[in-house]
């Protein structure tokens, strides 16, 4: 078939189809619904019909809720189903917050107990920060009855304070025996330099280290640790008496 004839047939078919579409568009009619609109009414027992845990929308469950929040929601729904008591979202949030605080406190207690290696309750108890009730900066150390103070501290099992008094007693004895020239503003290093005997210097250096570590480091001594530290003070006292 001649190509020109084919092209004429295709163009004629396209024009015919286009005319049919225009004719359908001109004959299109729109129907208007004039029927009366009647309002719908809900039944009176709607609240009773749709009551239950599956219709509880105050708290939204989502994938972002943790296990504790989901567990609490389950508890609250159970309370509502069994007793008819509905927990408000504000009250539910408050209960959840209190539980978080309780869990944090328990976690801190466990961590402190593990690190402290002793009763964690005593860790939070206010430590005895009593400083030796003697006016060292105003009164010369030779006038103080340190033996009585040591005795009272040991009677109260305040071993840290006992170490404080025992160190002052060592300074008192060294001053009386003229190994040092006591003054409340001097440091341990000053007294160390004043002592001429090598052995006595070593003993004094040892008790000075223990005193600084226990007293200023606020190390809470038990009886066994006190007995161990006391041996160094006894050795110093023995050396003072031997040389003096």
Domain-wise residue ranges, the chain = 49-124, 141-243
Which regions of the chain are under pLDDT 50? Answer: 22, 25-28, 61-63, 117-132, 137-138
Q: What local confidence, expressed as pLDDT, does residue 18 receive?
A: 52
Give pLDDT, residue 84: 75
Residue 149 CA to residue 153 CA, distance in Å, equals 6
pLDDT at 229 (0 to 100): 92
Tell if the pTM clears 0.85, that is, is over it.
no
Angle between helices 67-83 and 89-116 (to 10 degrees): 130
Does residue 43 sit in helix, strand or coil?
coil
> Tens digits of per-residue pLDDT, 78-113?
777 787 777 788 887 888 888 889 889 888 878 876
- The reported pLDDT for the residue numbered 14 is 60
């Amino acid at each position: 078939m001649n190509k020109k004839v084919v092209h004429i047939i295709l163009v004629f078919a396209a024009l015919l189809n286009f005319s049919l579409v225009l004719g359908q568009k001109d004959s299109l009619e729109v129907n208007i619904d004039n029927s009366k609109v009647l309002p719908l009414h809900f039944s009176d027992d709607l609240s009773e019909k749709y009551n239950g845990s599956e219709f509880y929308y105050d708290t939204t469950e989502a994938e972002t809720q943790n296990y504790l929040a989901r567990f609490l929601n389950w508890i609250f729904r159970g309370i509502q189903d069994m007793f008819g008591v509905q927990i408000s979202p504000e009250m539910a949030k408050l209960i959840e917050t209190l539980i978080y605080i309780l869990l944090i406190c328990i976690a801190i207690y466990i961590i402190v107990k593990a690190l402290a290696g002793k009763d964690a309750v005593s860790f939070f108890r206010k430590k005895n920060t009593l400083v030796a009730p003697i006016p060292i900066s105003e009164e010369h150390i030779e006038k103080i009855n340190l033996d009585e103070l040591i005795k009272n501290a040991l009677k109260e099992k305040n071993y840290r304070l006992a170490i404080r008094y025992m160190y002052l007693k060592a300074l008192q004895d060294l001053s009386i025996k003229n190994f040092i020239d006591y003054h409340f503003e001097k440091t341990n290093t000053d007294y160390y330099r004043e002592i001429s005997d090598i052995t006595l210097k070593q003993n004094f250096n040892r008790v000075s280290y223990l005193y600084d570590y226990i007293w200023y480091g606020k190390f809470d001594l038990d009886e066994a640790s006190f007995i161990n530290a006391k041996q160094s003070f006894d050795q110093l006292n023995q050396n003072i008496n031997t040389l003096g």
